[in-house]
A and B are shown apart, each in its own frame.
Chain A
Amino acid sequence: GENVEQHPSTLSVQEGDSAVIKCTYSDSASNYFPWYKQELGKRPQLIIDIRSNVGEKKDQRIAVTLNKTAKHFSLHITETQPEDSAVYFCAARRDYKLSFGAGTTVTVRA
């Protein structure tokens, strides 16, 4: 099955700085790569996604890049704010099923 690795496991940034989270996947047949933000005890919230036929996508302060050849994708958050503090998960979809990375706990220091 698909194996998704996510780094780093924790990330502390100063407010206003950028945060980058990287994921790699193993199955070249994966074709959809969403990123989720999850607050404690809450449901995962989709923040951005990218399909395998696109290399980059941006939505305001959030961007995702995908390198299909290297099988890795990254989340970039610019101008971080305290409300960006949460756990972020990457995922890869193959045959309708999502495989999740282990998660990154992001802390934005005011």
Chain B
Amino acid sequence: GAVVSQHPSWVICKSGTSVKIECRSLDFQATTMFWYRQFPKQSLMLMATSNEGSKATYEQGVEKDKFLINHASLTLSTLTVTSAHPEDSSFYICSATRTGEGYEQYFGPGTRLTVT
């Protein structure tokens, strides 16, 4: 149990376009989901915390108007990168915690975004 999926696994888009990434908890309900960004050979950096039915909480330095997060159900959170630029190219990983639990985060497989 505790499987998290992401779609797409990789995407290439042109500069100026928007890209939506989905994160789903397949076999559990996730009140809270997290979005991370990981540049090559670097660590995971938390971008935002996504709570079902409420606005996401963004980390300092992350533009909320550029990285739109929606957590409309207990199994789905989406991240939309608006007006993407080459510097947004990165590995985006989501994670989820089970409703009622607070410790372990279950990670998705990640989405490789390349902006040309």
Contacts and interface: CB of A to CB of B under 8 A. Distances in A.
Interface of A: 1, 32, 34, 41-46, 49, 51, 89, 93, 96-103
A98 B46 contact: yes
A1 B91 CA distance: 23
**A interface, over-half SS:** strand
Nearest to A99: B46
Contacts of B60: 1
A103 B108 contact: no
Interface stretch (B66-74, B78-86, B96-104): B96-104
B97 A42 contact: no
Chain B interface category by residue count = 20 to 34
A42 B49 contact: no
A42 B109 contact: yes
Contacts of A103: 42-43
Interface of B: 32, 34, 42-46, 49, 60, 91, 93, 97, 102-105, 107-110, 112
Nearest to A105: B41
10 contacts: A41-B112, A42-B110, A46-B104, A51-B103, A89-B44, A96-B102, A99-B46, A100-B43, A100-B45, A103-B42
Contacts of A45: 107
Given A41-B112, A42-B110, A43-B93, A98 B43 contact: no
Nearest to B60: A1
A97 B49 contact: yes
Contacts of A42: 109-110
A49 B103 contact: yes
B28 to A, nearest CB: 15
A100 B91 CA distance: 16
Nearest to A91: B44
